[in-house]
Amino acid sequence: MIATVFHSGKEYKVDFFKPIDISMPLYAGQDCASAWYVKPMKLEPVVMGEWVGDVNKGGSVNFRNVTFNPHGNGTHTECVGHISKEFFTINKTLNRFMFIAELISVLPDALENGDFVITRKQLETILKDSDKFEAIVIRTLGNSTAKLHTNYSNTNPPYIQKDAIEYLNELGVQHLLLDMPSVDREQDGGKLEAHHAFWNYPADAQLHKTITEMIYVPNEIFDGTYLLNLQIASFENDASPSKPILYKVF
């Protein structure tokens, strides 16, 4: 199904029958991607007396409890409530779900302390000739399917420097998507400089902006402009598991 989308005075054609899912599958077991020292997601059948919510154990239906942490188990989208004293929820603050997005690939720079980071200079070089966009999707290199199975806890994965975030703010980016567990360093003493800079919190909190972490963009998907459909569950929480979908525009 071909549709026409207009943004900033420009016309885009989109084939809604060709979605590109950039979320990580979320399943029980040690092999699922995780971070922040959380346990794997658990699926457990409800037991009520002699009745078990498992068809293979005699139940009439499968009826399972799900236990997980949205920040540590798989792809998730978060709002400013992740760092604020005030209680903001992703379900209340995200009220649009379709955005023009730019997908870029970045090889993080190595610092002297051993960290790998995405810098302002890198983003300026890659994005200098881009059309205006609302969301940015960052794929870090090298990129392999191992990201779908990595336990990132205590590995100090790549992150985004504060001045790079400030550059994205200057470009007007409202939604930031990254294939790492966080835009900030795993251990930074609680500063979370990139989070605070993106949401401009507490000076002037940008409630409508979101950060999506732990996505996965396959190598066969080319850099360029897409229509992003940012899907969340209706959680009244700072974050929700999410399913970002890209559609190539032409």
pLDDT of residue 188: 97
| Domain-embedded: residue 147 | yes
29-53 average pLDDT score: 97
Could you tell me if 73 and 27 are in contact, meaning their C-beta atoms sit under 8 angstroms apart?
no
Distance, in Å, from the CA atom of 68 to the CA atom of 72, rounded to the nearest integer, reads 8
pLDDT tens per residue, range 138-154: 999 999 999 999 999 99
Q: Could you tell me where the beta strands, DSSP code E, fall in 79-183?
A: 98-106, 109-110, 116-118, 135-140, 159-160, 175-178
Q: Is residue 53 part of a domain?
A: no
Q: Give the separation between CA 174 and CA 171, rounded to whole angstroms.
A: 9
Tell me what percent of the residues of the chain surpass a pLDDT of 90.
96
Strand runs (DSSP E) across 20-97, as ranges? 20-21, 42-45, 47-48, 51-52, 64-67, 76-78
- The distance from CA 156 to its chain's CA centroid, rounded to whole angstroms, is 18
Q: Is residue 192 part of a domain?
A: yes
| pLDDT at residue 242 tops 90 | yes
pLDDT tens sequence across 52-97: 999 999 999 999 999 999 999 999 999 999 999 999 999 999 999 9
* Residue 121 pLDDT greater than 90, yes or no: yes
For 26-32, what is the mean pLDDT? 94
List pLDDT tens digits, range 179-206: 999 999 999 999 999 999 999 999 999 9
What total number of domains does the chain contain? 1
pLDDT-derived band at 129, boundaries 50, 70, 90: confident
Predicted local distance difference test score (pLDDT) of residue 133: 96
Mean pLDDT of 103-112: 98
Domain assignment present for 133 = yes
Max CA pair span of the chain: 65
Per-residue confidence (pLDDT) for residue 175, from 0 to 100: 98
Task: Say how many C-beta atoms besides its own lie within 10 A of residue 237's C-beta.
Answer: 19
Query: Crossing angle of helices 120-127/162-171, nearest 10°?
Result: 30
What band does 1 get if pLDDT is binned at 50, 70 and 90? confident
Residue 48 is assigned to a structural domain of this protein: no
Asked if residue 40 is part of any domain, the answer here is no
Report if residue 67 sits inside a domain. Answer: no
What is the per-residue burial (b if ≥16 Cβ within 10 Å, else e) of 191-222?
A: ebbbbbbbbebeeebebebbbbbbbbbeeebe
Range of the domain at 189: 2-25+74-248
The CATH number of residue 188's host domain is 3.50.30.50
Is the confidence at residue 131, as pLDDT, over 90?
no
What's the chain's average pLDDT?
97
47 belongs to a structural domain: no
Q: Model's pTM, two decimal places?
A: 0.97
